């Protein structure tokens, strides 16, 4: 497939509309698109709202001259490419323009048409090369930062998640994170932001389930003075605060239908209004949302808008619960021991074998967050350099999960089949028999998963047995 060619767009700025028409006519057969401005203020407004590959800028204009406008354009876009146009060979002015960042210049009257075309082609070529070099440097920097992501895990599920983060982070796509409470959804959202082209801008996190609806709306979209009791001044919401960056909306499934409508408009049209306001505001933010619910079922039950769901889950990443990645527990413990130790103190640096066994066999309903809290607590309570069973909470010691009993007298094929059957039943029950999600979690293609379900006679339990 051939790479799609981008048509260059040129902004022509001259106080004489006739000159603008002449330049358009000269360059008409070059395949460019054009816009014009007849003064500096109009040029600034157009350049602020649209993207231009090149600006052809007259040096001598009333009110705001070309040199002043040149400086203001670079304030808006430090990568602007500008070719100056001057009515005479004013060497000093041209030199000043070049020193100020102009790429080249052309001289009025426009008698040498081929020279003008060549100058514009050259400037656009330089712009394309700079854009390509900037993109390559950006990609190298992103790959470097991806390697330092604070995501810990060697199990297949986590390695697959890590690969997906590498793929989606440089894109500007909307992402939905699905996982139980405490699996690290905000950590993954931050990792995506830090590995994206927006990493220099803000990352703002909002827990949609922890804020009352009226307060959540004004938190997200801001409000105008007098919009409600206590609104003493105009206040920006997080959509404005996160301009150019990433907005993480946790527990998106807890939002009301009216807020879901507003979310949908922001995602579709990239615009919103403050509470009590009429001004339309552009939203240049990347949305990463998260839920611990079966959002697909919520849509079926009419609790979540279907159109918003499809907007949010352009890419869905599933975060496995800790009990499905037990082999990562020692790595996580080592990390938390290091994270919560006080430099120079006698804080624990390791954990004894019996304690590790208990932690490896625990059910972890609170997932990684619960494990971190337990390690932090043990560090605080331990009197020695090693964490022992007495430093662990009583509920862990009282309810250990028994290990899997294996009868060595049965055939390997039978044992393997029993394990696979129990494993698939557990995954299907946990995912609410969502075949797509179960297929992703197990790494088994949907068609093969259906065959295995039929092979082992697995059935959705009726409501009375649940």
Chain-centroid distance of CA 22 in Å reads: 45
Contact 379/387 with Cβ under 8 angstroms? Answer: yes
| 314 and 372 co-located in one domain | no
The rounded distance, in Å, linking the Cα atoms of 464 and 461 is 8
| 157 and 246 co-located in one domain | yes
Question: Among 83, 103, 136, where does a domain finish?
Answer: 136
* Number of domains the chain contains: 4
In-domain check, residue 2: no
**Residue range(s) defining the domain that contains residue 428:** 412-465
In-domain check, residue 1: no
| 295 and 376 co-located in one domain | no
Q: Token digits for 354?
A: 């019996």
Q: Token digits for 193?
A: 């932001």
Check which CATH number belongs to the domain holding 430 and give it. 1.10.10.60
| 335 and 286 co-located in one domain | no
| 231 and 370 co-located in one domain | no
Question: Among 114, 136, 158, where does a domain finish?
Answer: 136
* Sequential pLDDT tens for the chain (466 residues): 334 457 899 999 999 999 999 999 999 999 999 999 999 999 999 998 888 999 999 988 888 988 999 999 998 888 899 999 987 666 678 888 888 899 999 988 888 899 999 999 999 999 988 888 777 776 666 666 656 666 788 888 888 888 888 888 888 899 999 999 999 999 999 989 988 889 889 999 999 988 888 889 999 999 998 888 888 888 999 999 999 999 999 999 999 998 999 999 999 988 999 999 888 898 899 999 999 988 888 899 999 999 999 999 899 999 999 988 988 999 899 889 888 887 666 666 789 989 998 999 888 989 999 999 999 999 888 888 889 999 999 888 765 444 444 444 555 556 567 677 877 887 888 788 888 888 877 778 888 888 888 888 888 765 444 4
Following CA atoms 228, 233, 237, 241 in sequence, which dihedral angle do they give, to the nearest 10 degrees? 180
Helix (H, G, I), strand (E, B) or coil at 115: helix
What are the strands, taking DSSP E only, across 365-438? Answer: 386-387
| 262 and 292 co-located in one domain | yes
């Amino acid at each position: 497939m051939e790479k799609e060619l981008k048509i260059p767009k040129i902004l022509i700025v001259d106080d004489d509309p006739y000159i603008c028409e002449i330049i358009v006519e000269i360059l008409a057969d070059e395949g460019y698109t054009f816009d014009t401005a007849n003064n500096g203020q109009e040029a600034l407004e157009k350049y602020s709202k649209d993207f231009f590959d090149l600006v052809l800028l007259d040096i001598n204009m009333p009110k705001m001259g070309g040199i002043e406008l040149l400086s203001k354009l670079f304030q808006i876009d430090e990568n602007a490419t500008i070719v100056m146009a001057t009515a005479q060979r004013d060497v000093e002015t041209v030199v000043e323009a070049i020193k100020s960042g102009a790429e080249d210049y052309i001289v009025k009257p426009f008698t040498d048409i081929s020279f003008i075309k060549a100058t514009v082609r050259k400037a656009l070529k330089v712009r394309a090369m700079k854009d390509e070099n900037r993109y390559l440097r950006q990609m190298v920097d992103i790959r470097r930062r991806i390697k330092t992501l604070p995501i810990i895990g060697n199990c297949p599920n986590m390695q697959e998640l890590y690969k997906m983060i590498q793929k989606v982070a440089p894109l500007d796509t909307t992402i939905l994170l699905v996982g139980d409470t405490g699996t690290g959804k905000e950590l993954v959202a931050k990792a995506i932001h830090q590995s994206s082209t927006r990493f220099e801008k803000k990352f703002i996190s909002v827990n949609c389930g922890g804020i009352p609806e009226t307060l959540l709306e004004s938190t997200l979209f801001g409000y105008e003075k007098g919009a409600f009791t206590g609104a003493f001044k105009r206040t920006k919401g997080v959509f404005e605060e996160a301009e150019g960056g990433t907005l993480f909306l946790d527990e998106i499934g807890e939002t009301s239908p009216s807020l879901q409508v507003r979310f949908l408009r922001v995602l579709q049209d990239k615009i919103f209004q403050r509470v009590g306001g009429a001004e339309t505001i552009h939203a240049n933010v990347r949305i990463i949302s998260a839920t611990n619910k079966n959002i697909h079922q919520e849509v079926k039950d009419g609790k979540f808008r279907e159109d918003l769901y499809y907007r949010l889950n352009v890419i869905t990443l599933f975060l496995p619960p800790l009990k499905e990645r037990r082999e990562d527990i020692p790595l996580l413990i080592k990390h938390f021991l290091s994270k919560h130790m006080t430099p120079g103190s006698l804080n624990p640096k390791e954990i004894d074998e019996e304690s590790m066994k208990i932690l490896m066999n625990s059910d972890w309903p609170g997932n990684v967050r619960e494990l971190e809290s337990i390690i932090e607590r043990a560090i605080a309570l331990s009197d020695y350099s090693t964490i022992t069973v007495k430093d662990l909470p009583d509920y862990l010691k009282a309810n250990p999960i028994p290990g899997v009993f294996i009868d060595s007298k049965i055939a390997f094929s039978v044992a393997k089949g029993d394990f696979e059957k129990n494993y698939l039943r557990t995954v299907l029950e946990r995912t609410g028999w969502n075949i797509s999600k179960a297929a992703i979690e197990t790494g088994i293609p949907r068609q093969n998963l259906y065959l295995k379900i039929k092979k082992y006679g697995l059935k959705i339990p009726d409501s009375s047995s649940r």
